[in-house]
Structure 1
Amino acid sequence: MSGVPVVGRYVSRSWSSSSSTTQQQQQQHHHQQDAPPSHTPSPRRVRSTASRTPTHAWRIPAFFRKKFEIAQRGGDRVGSSGGEGTEGEAFKDPTTHHLKDPMITPSTSREPIKELDLSPSPYTEPEILDAGGDREPRYLDLFDPGVSVVRDPKLDQPPSSPPNHTAKARARSALHACLAALASTRVVIGCTVVVIVLVVLIVTLATTSHSSLFLPDPRVQHPYVTTVTTCGIVKGKIEDKTFVFRGVPYALPPLGKLRFRPAQLHTHLDDCWDGTYTANKVQPCWGYDSRGGVVNGWEDCLLLDIFTPQLGYDNPLPVIVYVGGEGLGEDGGRAFTVGAAGRVARDRGVVVVSPQVRRGPLGFLPHPLLAASTYPHTSGNQGGSDLYAALVWTQRNIEHFGGSPTDIILLGHRGGAGLSWSVLSSPRAHKLVRAAWLSGAAPRHPNTPWRQADPSLISQLNCSSVLCLQSVPPEDVMEAVSPERRHDTSEPWMVADGVIVPFIPAPPPITLMIGSPLQGLAHRLLSWRDRVGSSRRNLVDAVVEALQTHKVKDEEEENTREFGRVRWPPPPAGNKRRKMLFDSRQAERAIEWYSDLQEDPWRLLTTLVSDATVTCPALEKAATLARTRSHSRHNIEDVPVYSYVTRYDRTSRAGRMADGLSDIEAIMGVFEEHNESDAKFSKTLQDLFFLFVRTGMPERHGATSAHLGVYTMDETMTVMRSRLACAHWVNMSHLATRY
């Protein structure tokens, strides 16, 4: 083995790959051992010989590896200054200068270490061959006892790196620092992301009725849609992305024995239909037109139309039950008014329900024969029972149409408003609706009991039994009413029957909005439009004729009158004459009062008559109810009452004015918009109405009660603290129109 010391980094020595070379080295080694001591070569000779003849291969047990590692770190065997010799002394030949190994017995022999056991060991390393004298020092030379190893001091210093390597190390260190900083907030960030994703998903599912995430609704088979009711399955149609069900029965057909009877709900299985009911029929009830002519219809007309944007149960929508009509004798404009109900339902997120009720004598016929054949003994107000049955049906079934049974708002217009107020005055109807919007009618309770109703209503039928009344053709019943009575408001259709309409009214403890357009009766006064002109005399006559509509009893009549075999208290029929409740002198004062407000005679007439009969009585009633509730001790002080007046002038048959149909057409989405001002008014009133539907208030904050102010609707909404024109009609509440 070479005596050249190994300095610097440790390098590995080559391994032998030839077994024959190994055997030759072993034979050479034994030959050298058998040779006489005098022939042992010198150390220098050994190196040159080793280059030509292989030396003995040492097998170092793995047991000593740990000690060799210690030697590398500067142990007793290896060192530059701590071993034998002085500092700076050159390395000596290992054959002449032996290192002390505590594991080897010292020997005086100059031969290579013979004391080591050369027997095979399971912890042996492969043979190491000496490649020659010119080889480089290798790693396993340090295991040779004859080789001195000195560790280069430069190895204790960190290795120098190129500039690019240092930059990469710094970048890597910075990245590790950032990751370590983020690791502390990893859980918080992950939870935040999960919560945000869940919130977005929930909001999306809650606001989307027909999401693509769900399977198709089996109830929707375009263009048809089906749902269920308490009486069976009904099938409607899809129109403009809205589900429309027309002509759904809500009560039994009022035919035969059920004519002139209160509406009967479906209570037995035999009352319902078999299979699927096709809800796509239009069967209006009998009625009159604006001139008093009979409009043909069907007696089997207790049907309602439903417009809904959804059929789900997760997010029930508010429900609007609309009932209208110029009066209780006709409802010819219903088809036009609900023409855009589907679009309104879709855009505003509500369910619209429009029931049909019986009109004229088929819906409002008080008669002693009818009262005697039923219990409790009462008659009249069949149309009122229809509305009550429609509200009950809606509350029981509307959840299957996407609506909320606890969020029903009753919308009444003109005759429908008068009918709605009379039905809501009964305690049994208080829990059917949450709020009511009454337009174009003063909420006046009928002041005539059914026993005092005029029996001449059907005197032309010449019937003395209930069977006769039930078998008369419906057209004959409608023609039996005199032309004056068909559209004359001096004799209201509604009476107090004690069941549907109580004798003593009980104002409903619900949120109310009561109001009217400024010229609400313009259409009824069209016959005077050309006659008024600029003549003051004609204007006075028009006011007197429009307001002297009440008949009063001139003298006491007999207390009883016999109708067939039934005796009952008589009506105030007898000899009647019109009493000038509003004479020309009062008309002159009223015209002087309004001359400062209106210059055009036609606008003056329509405004004056509308204020006297509709607008001012409605505002006064709303203020009274609001004032009473604010001082009530019956826990209804938190149930507000509001009032409004629309004064936007639009183009109509009556001219440029706020006619009686402007507010309901704007609410129902059929208002004709000819310019930007029309669009602003329509949107303003619609926003007010649907805010009231959803929140029960016309304003989100600080709503003004009716006894503190009136909401005035024009292109914008303002609050008017008082309406001075109504001060002229304070003591004339008897002029209010009753239906």
Structure 2
Amino acid sequence: MSRVEMNEDAFEVPARNEYRYLVQDEGEEEIQYVRRHYVSPFLVVSKRCMFLIACGVIGLLTLAGYLAYVAQTPPPGFAEVLTDCGWLRGHREGRGYSFKGIPYSIPPVEERRWKPPQGLKDAGKCWEGVYDATRFRSVCAQIQPLEKDGVVSGKEDCLHLSVFTPSLQPSDKLPVMVWIHGGYLHMLSGQEKGYSPTEELAVQTQTVFVSFNYRLNAFGFMALEVLREGSSTNTSGNYGFMDQIQVLHWVQSNIHVFGGDPQKVTIFGQSSGGTSVWTLMMSPLAKGLFHRAIDMSGSYVYNASLESAEKDNLVFLKRTGCKDAACLRKLNISQILQAIPWLDYPSWAAADLTDIPVKGRFYGPVAIVDGHVLRSPPFESWEKKTFFNDVPFVIGTTEQEADFFPPMKNISVWTWGDYQWYVTEKLKPFGEKVLTEAKKLYNSSVPCPITDRCPERLFTTLVSDMRASCPNNDLAMRAAKALESPVYRYLVTYTPSKAADTYPLLPYPSRFSYHLLDSLAFFRSLKMAHGTVTSKDEDFQDLITKYFITFAKEGRMPSEWGEFPSQTALLGEKLSVSQNPLKERCKLWEDNGFYPYAWIN
């Protein structure tokens, strides 16, 4: 049984026939805001009622209204809140709440395909009654694997977000963390199990989490001159980033009703989600919408112009058989996805980013400098001080990023002879000096926690340094020079207790500090990924969670972490710090011009 108490605010808006109540379960402290359609005649009948019979009628009507109110009480385990576009009904799990599948833009379908998002309130499209926010909606249109004959899934009507919170009290002003999922800007969603927030995490950390879907692949990032026609921005591409910015506007308008503080918003993302974080820091459209940022394994290469991308992507237009935007908007989802140049230039699939690069082979851009979301390349913006969001910034990578999906599937049984042969063959085109130095720095005497997998660990470390960790060191250095806010750098060195062989997002039984390890640890998902966990695995999860949440709450890391470039945090079984742990290795790749081969998108 719940006890009901009318909120004082109810007397301020009698004309709307909507009143807010506080419902508090007996024996519990949490109070939730919910909506009812009960109007007591006592509020409108004059106090000058002089006749007993009239008062009796009022009493009967009041009782009838109350019974009607009780009949509308939502079932146990549900909660309702009022947003700027209407009422939401969410779910209560333990001491936490979830509101899933909330639309934050009108659907980008038909004539709205390849156009900026538009909020429902701005478009006059708010819902009637109470919106069911107890379940996720569709993921955005995508294809897996990234090739013409991959399996198509998802819909274009996918612009939804979800909120997970331990409280519905606006006065609590809890920190807010907005999660941006990865997937190379081509796949996945903000509702992947194990790779997204939960009610449990919100309660454990006393933090409000927001996750969301944004347009992907050609639907989110296709740059073509024909798409400029009728464009209010005179640009094309980067629609997925515009979706992300629309989410941040929604957060600023609504997160207080979920107990969150709109002045304490942290954006954090992994892989292409990290690239998105970097983009939002540079974008004038996101100015003032967030206050801290965490980039986990984001890309480094980010300088393609709108004009070059529109020219390169003409191969897509040719494959569709279309000549104008009207024709493109009539194509179905499969026709669009199958026309993308996945494996032919501009090679959107970028299939060998976990391998030593082929000299002179580069990939087509997905994220671009479009003049609207981004006015200039990020490094140029930092150098010229023309960026727009100077906020505390964390940049992280894992030591064996490439162990997520190594190029040779038999790498787990490599001998040292196999390792030496493969590295020699792949690096030989870059010159004898590079090859000799690489063999010296990445040699068989390097300590390895798993003896029978040492060649695998060393190879994936080499590729990760070249493609991700060393370029991100340079990114962090540029950020530290440009920002007034503190910059922090971390490198995950932890080796889990066993291989990650039970998680569908991991295509390979990763054993070392693989791409995704830090995000899975933060979301408390190592058991899901590895099947079982030890106390050391759990301690590592606690370590990641502790520091990320501290950063979200305080806007800085604790003193033991140290700012970059003075210190880099090494996240293993425990926190340790080093001034420049990758100095010698990174010098090899930087001096020999390997950074253009760094991860893109």
TM-aligned CA deviation for residue 663 of structure 1: 0.4
Instruction: Give the alignment partner of residue 607 of structure 1, picking from 461, 466, 476.
Output: 461
CA distance in 2, matches of 1:460, 1:617: 35
* Aligned equivalent of 1:288: 143
1:593-628 per-residue CA deviation (whole Å, 9 max, x = no partner) reads: 111435622111100111111111112221232244
* Aligned equivalent of 1:644: 490
Instruction: Give the alignment partner of residue 671 of structure 1, picking from 503, 519, 526.
Output: 526
CA distance in 2, matches of 1:435, 1:323: 14
**Given residue 515 of structure 2, which amino acid in structure 1 is its aligned partner?**
G
1:168-218 per-residue CA deviation (whole Å, 9 max, x = no partner) reads: xxxxxxxxxxxxxxxxxxxxxxxxxxxxxxxxxxxxxxxx99975898754
Q: How does 1:393-432 map to 2 (within 5 A)?
A: 393-432=250-289
* Aligned equivalent of 2:578: 720
- 8 Å Cα contact 2:394-2:489 kept in structure 1: yes
| SS of residue matched to 2:92 | strand
Aligned length: 490
* Aligned equivalent of 1:527: 408
User: Aligned pair 1:735/2:597, yes or no?
Assistant: yes
CA distance in 2, matches of 1:588, 1:598: 20
* Aligned equivalent of 1:10: none
CA distance in 2, matches of 1:427, 1:333: 24
Q: How does 1:568-717 map to 2 (within 5 A)?
A: 582=430, 586-595=434-443, 596-597=445-446, 600-629=454-483, 636=484, 639-650=485-496, 651=498, 652=500, 653-672=508-527, 674-699=533-558, 701=559, 703-717=561-575
1:562-593 per-residue CA deviation (whole Å, 9 max, x = no partner) reads: xxxxxxxxxxxxxxxxxx6x467634532331
CA distance in 1, matches of 2:370, 2:30: 53
TM-aligned CA deviation for residue 501 of structure 1: 2.0
Change (3 A) 1:218 1:359: closer
TM-aligned CA deviation for residue 241 of structure 1: 2.7
Change (3 A) 1:612 1:693: same
TM-aligned CA deviation for residue 468 of structure 1: 0.7
* Aligned equivalent of 2:194: 337
Change (3 A) 1:257 1:676: same
TM-aligned CA deviation for residue 382 of structure 1: 0.9
CA distance in 2, matches of 1:717, 1:543: 35
* Aligned equivalent of 1:348: 205
- 8 Å Cα contact 2:187-2:217 kept in structure 1: yes
TM-aligned CA deviation for residue 332 of structure 1: 6.0
1:7-62 per-residue CA deviation (whole Å, 9 max, x = no partner) reads: xxxxxxxxxxxxxxxxxxxxxxxxxxxxxxxxxxxxxxxxxxxxxxxxxxxxxxxx
User: Aligned pair 1:502/2:375, yes or no?
Assistant: yes
Instruction: Give the alignment partner of residue 461 of structure 1, picking from 316, 320, 327.
Output: 320
Change (3 A) 1:213 1:407: closer
| SS of residue matched to 1:243 | strand
- 8 Å Cα contact 2:309-2:365 kept in structure 1: no
| SS of residue matched to 1:656 | coil
Instruction: Give the alignment partner of residue 392 of structure 2, picking from 501, 504, 511.
Output: 511
Where does the alignment leave 5 or more consecutive residues of structure 2 unmatched?
1-23, 36-72, 354-362, 382-386, 449-453, 501-507
- 8 Å Cα contact 1:246-1:305 kept in structure 2: yes
TM-aligned CA deviation for residue 433 of structure 1: 0.7
CA distance in 2, matches of 1:408, 1:727: 36
| SS of residue matched to 1:284 | coil
- 8 Å Cα contact 2:170-2:259 kept in structure 1: yes
Where does the alignment leave 5 or more consecutive residues of structure 1 unmatched?
1-207, 549-579, 630-635
Change (3 A) 1:296 1:655: closer
1:115-151 per-residue CA deviation (whole Å, 9 max, x = no partner) reads: xxxxxxxxxxxxxxxxxxxxxxxxxxxxxxxxxxxxx
CA distance in 2, matches of 1:393, 1:216: 21
**Given residue 261 of structure 2, which amino acid in structure 1 is its aligned partner?**
S
1:140-169 per-residue CA deviation (whole Å, 9 max, x = no partner) reads: xxxxxxxxxxxxxxxxxxxxxxxxxxxxxx
- Larger relative contact order (Cα-Cα within 8 Å, sequence gap ≥ 6): 2
CA distance in 2, matches of 1:705, 1:352: 26
TM-aligned CA deviation for residue 231 of structure 1: 1.2
- 8 Å Cα contact 1:307-1:351 kept in structure 2: yes
1:93-132 per-residue CA deviation (whole Å, 9 max, x = no partner) reads: xxxxxxxxxxxxxxxxxxxxxxxxxxxxxxxxxxxxxxxx
CA distance in 2, matches of 1:367, 1:210: 59
| SS of residue matched to 1:521 | helix
CA distance in 1, matches of 2:521, 2:104: 28
* Aligned equivalent of 1:482: 341
Taking only aligned residues, the RMSD between alpha carbons, in angstroms, comes to: 2.7
- 8 Å Cα contact 2:291-2:391 kept in structure 1: yes
| SS of residue matched to 1:236 | strand
User: Aligned pair 1:258/2:117, yes or no?
Assistant: no
- 8 Å Cα contact 1:288-1:486 kept in structure 2: no
| SS of residue matched to 1:337 | coil
1:412-449 per-residue CA deviation (whole Å, 9 max, x = no partner) reads: 10011112212321123131110011101245533333
| SS of residue matched to 2:268 | strand
CA distance in 1, matches of 2:174, 2:590: 41
TM-aligned CA deviation for residue 504 of structure 1: 4.4
User: Aligned pair 1:229/2:83, yes or no?
Assistant: yes
* Aligned equivalent of 2:70: none
CA distance in 2, matches of 1:331, 1:737: 18
Structure 1 window deviating more from structure 2 (679-688 vs 345-354): it is 679-688
Change (3 A) 1:584 1:470: farther
- 8 Å Cα contact 1:446-1:738 kept in structure 2: no
Give the TM-score taking structure 1 as reference length.
Answer: 0.62
- 8 Å Cα contact 2:179-2:190 kept in structure 1: no
Change (3 A) 1:627 1:217: closer
TM-aligned CA deviation for residue 240 of structure 1: 3.1
| SS of residue matched to 1:586 | helix
Change (3 A) 1:587 1:328: farther
* Aligned equivalent of 1:377: 234
- 8 Å Cα contact 1:340-1:669 kept in structure 2: no
* Aligned equivalent of 2:154: 297
CA distance in 2, matches of 1:737, 1:243: 37
Identity level (%)? 25
Change (3 A) 1:475 1:588: farther
CA distance in 2, matches of 1:416, 1:513: 13
CA distance in 1, matches of 2:298, 2:122: 38
CA distance in 2, matches of 1:301, 1:465: 25
TM-aligned CA deviation for residue 252 of structure 1: 1.1
* Aligned equivalent of 1:360: 217
| SS of residue matched to 1:400 | helix
From the CA coordinates, give the structure whose radius of gyration is larger. 1
Change (3 A) 1:268 1:704: closer
- 8 Å Cα contact 2:195-2:519 kept in structure 1: no
1:687-722 per-residue CA deviation (whole Å, 9 max, x = no partner) reads: 1111111112221x3651111010001111011111
- 8 Å Cα contact 2:434-2:588 kept in structure 1: no
CA distance in 2, matches of 1:481, 1:583: 35
- 8 Å Cα contact 1:440-1:660 kept in structure 2: yes
* Aligned equivalent of 1:239: 93
- 8 Å Cα contact 1:284-1:301 kept in structure 2: yes
Give the TM-score taking structure 2 as reference length.
Answer: 0.76
